[in-house]
Amino acid sequence: RHFHGETPDPAVPFPNRPEPADIPACTKPHALIEGKPLSPNEKAKFDEAIHEHRKQWPKIARDVGTSLNRCLIHYYSSYKAGEGRGNYLKHKKRWEQSDECEVCNDGGDLLCCDGCANAYHLECIEPPLKEIPVGQWFCVECQKKEKKSLK
């Protein structure tokens, strides 16, 4: 905190003050928010935890043994956009609903399956739907899986 008449600590980064030059560029966002980037051991734990818990960030942070903020910083700066991008893309379909129709690959108003990440235009579903169904809705692929599991 800065009180009138006091001089702020030059080591504390503020938006109106240049960042210290001795912090490498790749760690500046981490240093400004909450310490250092994840260690190699923490990264390995993160990879296992995100696969197991998907995007349940409190569980991931607990398994990694660090704060939720550090996990989110790693996810957005390294895992999703950097060195872990291949692993992210491999699992993305399981974590997020699609923003393209599975049939025509176009965006727009889509009906999302409640059993997987697939999404469809009402008119692309066979037979086409005239309105969004009430309650849960499952795509043909999920319906087939359910029928197989009941046999």
Give the tens place of pLDDT for each residue, 79-114.
Answer: 666 666 666 556 655 556 677 888 998 888 899 888
Helix (H), strand (E) at residue 20: none
**CA dist., res. 59 & res. 78, Å (int):** 19
What mean pLDDT, rounded, does the chain reach?
75
Helix (H), strand (E) at residue 110: none
Task: Give the residues of the chain that fall short of pLDDT 70.
Answer: 1-35, 79-97, 151
